[in-house]
Amino acid sequence: MHILVVNDDGPPNTRLSPYIRPLVNELEKAGHQVSVAIPAASRSWIGKAHIIEASLTAHYVHPDWFRGDGSWDESYESEENNTPWVVIENGTPASCTQLGLHNLFTDRPPIDLVISGPNHGRNASTIYNLSSGTVGGALEAVFCGKRGIAISFGSKDPQPDDIIQAAARLAVRVVLHLHTVWDERVELYNINVPMRLDVESRPVLYTRTLPYYWSRGCLYAEAEVQSTPKSKLMNGVPNGVPNGVNGVDHEHADVNGVLTNGSSEHCNGVNGHSNPKQRHFKWSADLSDMKKRLQESEEGTDAHTVLNGSTSVTALRANFWHVPGLEGPLYLDQ
């Protein structure tokens, strides 16, 4: 079988993407041909997004050339497209799936299955499934007419090699079983594997998705941005800035030449007009409420299963389906 592997954690990285190489090794050990297309940087929480205004550059990189931080020795970058590992600048899991299926490995046989992952951490519950780049890579496979399987290894904590190897071995067994007995009603499977040494002897269970909704705004926090003192501005531009073009400091300006370093008193360089008030926010996910809900999740859900040490397999369809019975005209109140 020819398997395409994509992910949202990027190239092999001791801290951010420690699981992809062991899974690929196990798939190859089982006798399968594996092609890998991965983003050059982490693309977590991006779902099935494509970055439509960014050009994508594909680097063919031998897996032995990666360093522990996810970079690679560019002096050994393959001059020919003969390595099964490709790293894509500006890539997302979905674009890696698209390019992997249609553009990058045309000298190889057609791809039979797309595996997205293994994610560095769980993807259980509706919010994770709909936000996850890992699940997004498998969703993209479905819309390209292929079977997709998303795999997540359920811990972001550093894991010893023997636990990672056990998870990879079990994941390969589950994948091959699902491919053999694939239910035609299913378009993709979402697998969550707990990280424990005895995982191969623990149950593997079909599960349903835990429904979850944000109880409050908890993904972003206001960021403090240091303001440039008014006395140091001339026509809204810091004095003595050598890299300004047309009077604009591009380290502190947006695409319109407007200063964006946090002060509502800064001018935009045109007739001394002040900018509107600005507030700045940064990604600062507070998932404490979600973690509590996952801990309290009902038996039979993906979250409950993986948190209790078993592997969850959730069969999914790749759609937002309409609500049956709501049909026909709407009679609006006059």
Q: For 43-52, write each residue's pLDDT tens digit.
A: 999 999 999 9
The pLDDT of 170-188, averaged and rounded, is 97
Residue 237 sits in the same domain as residue 206: no
pLDDT of residue 79: 56
Give CA–CA dist 187/311, Å, rounded. Answer: 19
| Alpha carbon distance 261, 241 (integer Å) | 15
- 334 is a domain residue: no
DSSP state of 51: -
Beta strands in 154-303 (DSSP E): 188-193, 204-207, 220-222, 233-234, 237-238, 281-283
Backbone φ and ψ of 255, nearest 5°: -65, -15
Instruction: Specify whether 182 is located in the same domain as 236.
Output: no
- Residues found in the chain: 334
Q: What angle do CA 126, 297, 117 make, to 5 degrees?
A: 45
Are the C-beta atoms of 94 and 39 separated by less than 8 Å? no
Amino acid at 79: E
Encode pLDDT of 98-133 as tens digits: 999 999 999 999 999 999 999 999 999 999 999 999
| Short-list 219, 215, 216, 210, CA closest to 307 | 210
What's the pLDDT score for residue 290?
86
* Claim to verify: residue 132 and residue 150 sit in the same structural domain: yes
With respect to residue 96, please indicate whether it lies within any of the assigned structural domains: yes
Residues 297 and 280 in one domain: no
Residue 8 has pLDDT above 70, yes or no: yes
Pick the more confident residue, 247 or 185. Answer: 185
Tell me whether residue 11 is in a domain.
yes
Contact (CB, 8 A) for 203 and 312: no
Instruction: Give the per-residue pLDDT at 149.
Output: 98
Mean pLDDT over the full length of the chain: 87
Q: What is the pLDDT of residues 288-317, one digit of tens each?
A: 888 898 999 999 999 999 999 999 999 999
CB 188 within 8 A of CB 151: no
In this prediction, what percent of the chain has a pLDDT beyond 70?
Answer: 83
Judge whether residue 29 has pLDDT over 90.
yes
DSSP letter string over 168-199? HHHHHHHHHHHHHS--TT-SEEEEEE---TTG
pLDDT tens for each residue of 192-246? 999 999 999 999 999 999 999 988 878 999 998 876 555 554 444 445 444 444 3
- Specify whether 104 is located in the same domain as 230: no
Let me know if residue 324 belongs to a domain.
Answer: no
Residue 145 placed within a domain: yes
Shared domain check, 249 and 111? no
Q: Of 266, 330, 8, 316, which is closest to residue 152 (Cα–Cα)?
A: 8
Q: Output the pLDDT for position 228.
A: 59
Q: Which two tokens stand for residue 196?
A: 């424990």
Q: What are phi and psi of 67, to 5 degrees?
A: -95, 170
Residues 139 and 9 in one domain: yes
pLDDT score for 75: 74
Based on the fold, state whether residues 48 and 193 are members of the same structural domain: yes
In a domain, 330, yes or no: no
CB atoms within 10 A of CB 318: 16
pLDDT score recorded for residue 216: 81
Supply the pLDDT for residue 263.
44
3-state SS assignment for residue 44: coil
* Band (188; pLDDT cuts 50, 70, 90): very high
Q: Return the pLDDT at 205.
A: 98
62/196 same-domain check:
yes
User: Residue 188 phi/psi, 5° resolution?
Assistant: -155, 155
268 with 200, same domain: the answer is no
Residue 56 lies in a domain: yes
Residues near 41 by Cβ (< 8 Å), separated by ≥ 6?
10
Q: 322 pLDDT band (50/70/90 cuts)?
A: confident
Dihedrals phi, psi of 290, to nearest 5 degrees: -65, -45
259 pLDDT exceeds 90? no
Mean pLDDT of 19-39: 98
Q: How far is CA 196 from the centre of its chain?
A: 23
pLDDT for 247 equals 38
Q: Is residue 332 part of a domain?
A: no
Q: What is the CATH number of the domain that holds 169?
A: 3.40.1210.10
Q: Quick one: 271 and 141 in the same domain?
A: no
Residue 305, domain extent: 2-214+293-316
**How many domains, the chain?**
2
CA angle (61, 62, 68) in 5-degree steps? 85
Helix, strand, or coil (residue 249): coil
Position 73 scores a pLDDT of: 87
Residues 21 and 130 in one domain: yes
